[in-house]
């Protein structure tokens, strides 16, 4: 059966898109952050579809930028994402033109834009890891061992002013949050900006952790140094409603 016009157009667009991906690998060092984010989001939309990963933690700035860029595309269809990616490459490099019947490489990786923008924390061997490192990784077993030994000040704060509970809430490690609360971590401890773990969980939109903190007597009425409540720190409708209810309770 002969291919339909739509199938032919889609196949042609896919080939041009792949050529654009290959070209970005050669010009990525010359692109600015906004251009890379634009292309990254559309690459993910083409190859994965709608954003399907949790929002990164508060201190993963680059991860949040990438997530925001991808998530902003919502239900954009694959062809539109490919078209916008190709247009973005043309705008970034007006001299580039795809080859007819091009023999582009089919990348099985996540694409040059992703690798260009990737961010990995410095590798630390297990023997050199601190309790903060284990906390950030979400290693509940190691956290439980260290806390049970009694060698850890559970409310200590690092150079950035964050406690273990802040970090666990920031990274979305619910099991670690539970472990810390079981060991009597200060649930309302504030960082250098006056933000509590509840601020962090709300900002990062971890609904189950917000609920856990509230059920464990976290105070939703504590403002940070700028007067913002946890309620003011989130765009999540569910979390806003939950915090509104609990904040009202705290005033009765």
Give the residue-averaged pLDDT of 60-74: 86
Q: Residue 155 above 60 pLDDT? A: yes
More confident site: 17 or 128: 17
Higher pLDDT, 65 or 62: 65
Question: What pLDDT band is residue 71 in, cutting at 50, 70 and 90?
Answer: very high
Q: For the segment 137-148, what is each residue's pLDDT rounded down to a tens digit?
A: 899 999 989 888
pLDDT for 199: 95
Mean pLDDT on 99-127: 50
Distance CA 69, CA 72 (A): 5
Q: What is the pLDDT of residue 124?
A: 63
114 alpha-carbon distance from chain centroid: 14
Q: Are 17 and 9 in contact (CB under 8 A)?
A: no
Of the candidates 170, 178, 238, which has an alpha carbon nearest to the alpha carbon of residue 199?
Answer: 170
Give me the domains of the chain, ranges plus CATH numbers: 8-117 (1.20.80.10), 126-250 (1.25.40.20)
Q: What is the CA radius of gyration of the chain?
A: 23
User: pLDDT value at position 120?
Assistant: 39
* DSSP symbol at 99: P
Answer for the pair 160, 57: CB distance below 8 angstroms, yes or no: no
pLDDT at residue 11, rounded to an integer: 53
Going 97 to 101 to 103 to 106, the CA torsion angle's sign is positive
pLDDT of residue 119: 37
Over residues 174-184, mean pLDDT: 95
For residue 106, is pLDDT > 60? no
Mean pLDDT computed over every residue of the chain: 84
pLDDT tens digits for range 86-101: 999 999 999 999 887 5
Residue for token digits 């991860």? Answer: 63
DSSP SS3 for 168: helix
Tell me how crowded residue 201 is: count the other CB atoms within 10 A of its CB.
Answer: 32
């Amino acid at each position: 059966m002969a291919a339909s016009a739509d199938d032919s157009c889609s196949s042609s667009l896919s080939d041009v898109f792949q050529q654009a991906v290959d070209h970005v690998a050669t010009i990525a060092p010359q692109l600015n952050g906004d251009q890379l984010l634009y292309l990254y989001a559309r690459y993910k939309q083409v190859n994965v579809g709608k954003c399907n990963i949790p929002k990164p933690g508060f201190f993963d700035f680059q991860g949040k930028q990438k997530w925001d860029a991808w998530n902003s595309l919502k239900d954009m269809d694959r062809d539109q994402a490919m078209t916008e990616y190709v247009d973005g490459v043309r705008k970034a490099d007006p001299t580039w033109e795809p080859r007819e019947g091009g023999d582009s490489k089919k990348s099985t990786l996540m694409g040059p834009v992703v690798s260009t923008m990737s961010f990995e924390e410095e590798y630390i061997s297990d023997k050199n890891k601190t309790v903060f490192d284990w906390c950030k990784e979400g290693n509940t077993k190691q956290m439980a061992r260290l806390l049970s030994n009694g060698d850890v000040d559970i409310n200590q704060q690092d150079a950035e002013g964050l406690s273990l509970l802040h970090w666990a809430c920031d990274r979305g490690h619910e099991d670690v949050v539970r472990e810390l609360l079981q060991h009597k971590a200060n649930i309302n401890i504030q960082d250098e900006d006056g933000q509590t773990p509840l601020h962090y969980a709300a900002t990062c939109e971890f609904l189950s952790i917000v609920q856990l903190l509230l059920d464990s007597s976290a105070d939703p009425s504590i403002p940070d140094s700028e007067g913002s409540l946890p309620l003011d720190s989130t765009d999540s409708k569910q979390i806003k409603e939950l915090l509104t209810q609990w904040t009202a309770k705290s005033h009765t």
